[in-house]
Structure 1
């Protein structure tokens, strides 16, 4: 009988310690639990990795269209009129303004730009296109005053950021000057590439990815839900894309960066060689994650014009 292949695992002690700490709050098979339990675990996990707010940064909560909660982050030092629209990850199922609060604060502070985070509707209560439409509506509200916007997101949020950037380009809507995709799920083929190689990776398995996609129920022929399936990426805004080597979503990031470059889009791609999915949360305990986060913030700063 053939032995089971070894689980692909990084060697950096910091990221391994991060994963061990995560497992104390979030089990290896969370998708087997109820939605309510998944959200409870995720909220506890996010609270565990909270961080002090940058000095002088202020927050302001409001609703767009009297319905969609958003949070505005204004650093003490704002050096550009360009704003960042940040879309959180969480498999389209978990996550909120609170789950990514510290990350958003540090990105805004480091890039010296205002940032707006959106609390889009979650599946399974709200399936496709609810989350997409919420993010698109917030984008339109930001563009209405003719100030430039960089769209950004991690994981599921990376999917939504890529999708709204693609829609804006198709519809000829100006004002998006950059897109930042952080280990994005762009709905690549689950039967190929890193989905096979990293099927049992720490932090996120291919089985988990399949579950989140099924819960979301996005039509397979919609390119805004499946950005990798778009025939033409020409004209999209400049991009900074970062992936993690030990992540089933790795080749979504690689493939989209390559296709953008082929289409003539200015794209910077960076892959963190020792990182796993969701490494943003490890930025204060893993040297590799810290380095990756510094490059991310610089990539954002370059797109908003402060680098």
Structure 2
């Protein structure tokens, strides 16, 4: 267990809205709990930032954030977490707004289809459709995702490479789930970690039904990581997904990719939401925004 008072208070506050055994409830109940949790951690919008909701490809909702001060043509594509089961444009609205403001860059978030109503590859296909739409205007793009969104972001970079699509200049993976084995390393050491257990990870994988051999769904299984865009990868120490982030960073570095990696020492899964009540989360968020700023060229 972490010892930082702020992150412990954050975890307690989360449990008041989203119980530890939430995955045992119905999908509708999980979403209701998650929406209430996200609303509890909402934050004021940065001054001057504007939002607009759009539809891509005739069916995929996206939200565009334009900060008051834009210092780059590079865009940020943000893919939210939630185990592929919960989450929406609204659940990560404040996080996206603050990242856009800090990086001085336009940001687009996506409301991809969720499981179990839509299993693999629905979410992946939605995200890739938005990715190709954003790349079509010729502007550089940094792909960012947290948790399940980190999985999708890594998969986007891999598929873009496989299809020889140019324009992705960075990938940012925030406590991503990338297809680790569930029985060793942090999956064993942090099996009962606060905020996310190994059993929870297994549940989300089962609901998604992604083929185990598909490297876009399980980026750690990709045989060749060379030629991928520079990466900023951040992990939570008290998280079963920790080694997924660390092992992917090592693989990218071995393949010659420029990587910045951070293991946030007192953090638990979903620490992004604790950025206004935990010193460690606040520091981690500052470093994250600097990492994104470096990739979009505004640092």
* TM-score, normalised by the number of residues in structure 1: 0.97
1:251 to 227, 243, 246: 243
Using the TM superposition, give the Cα deviation of residue 132 of structure 1 relative to its aligned residue in structure 2, in angstroms.
0.1
Q: Partners of 1:30 and 1:255 in 2: how far apart?
A: 28
Matched, 1:56 2:51: no
Q: Partners of 1:30 and 1:235 in 2: how far apart?
A: 40
**Residues 129-140 of structure 1: pairs in structure 2 closer than 5 A:** 129-140=121-132
Q: Partners of 2:256 and 2:62 in 1: how far apart?
A: 33
Q: Partners of 2:8 and 2:204 in 1: how far apart?
A: 24
1:115 is aligned to 107
Structure 1 stretches (4+) deviating beyond 6 angstroms? none
Q: How many residues align?
A: 299
Matched, 1:75 2:59: no
1:146 is aligned to 138
Q: Partners of 1:301 and 1:206 in 2: how far apart?
A: 32
2:252 is aligned to 260
Using the TM superposition, give the Cα deviation of residue 39 of structure 1 relative to its aligned residue in structure 2, in angstroms.
0.1
Using the TM superposition, give the Cα deviation of residue 170 of structure 1 relative to its aligned residue in structure 2, in angstroms.
1.3
2:292 is aligned to 300
Partner SS, residue 16 of structure 1:
helix
**Residues 159-174 of structure 1: pairs in structure 2 closer than 5 A:** 159-174=151-166
Using the TM superposition, give the Cα deviation of residue 187 of structure 1 relative to its aligned residue in structure 2, in angstroms.
1.1
Using the TM superposition, give the Cα deviation of residue 300 of structure 1 relative to its aligned residue in structure 2, in angstroms.
0.2
Two-structure CA RMSD over aligned residues (Å): 0.3
Partner SS, residue 289 of structure 1:
helix
1:200 is aligned to 192
Q: Partners of 1:192 and 1:146 in 2: how far apart?
A: 43
Using the TM superposition, give the Cα deviation of residue 94 of structure 1 relative to its aligned residue in structure 2, in angstroms.
0.1
Partner SS, residue 17 of structure 2:
coil
Matched, 1:228 2:224: no
Using the TM superposition, give the Cα deviation of residue 117 of structure 1 relative to its aligned residue in structure 2, in angstroms.
0.2
Using the TM superposition, give the Cα deviation of residue 203 of structure 1 relative to its aligned residue in structure 2, in angstroms.
0.3
Matched, 1:219 2:211: yes
Q: Partners of 1:123 and 1:10 in 2: how far apart?
A: 31
Using the TM superposition, give the Cα deviation of residue 171 of structure 1 relative to its aligned residue in structure 2, in angstroms.
1.2
Runs of 5+ consecutive residues of structure 2 not aligned to the other structure: none
Runs of 5+ consecutive residues of structure 1 not aligned to the other structure: 1-8
Q: Partners of 2:123 and 2:179 in 1: how far apart?
A: 16
Q: Partners of 2:296 and 2:129 in 1: how far apart?
A: 21
2:274 to 267, 279, 282: 282
Q: Partners of 1:167 and 1:280 in 2: how far apart?
A: 27
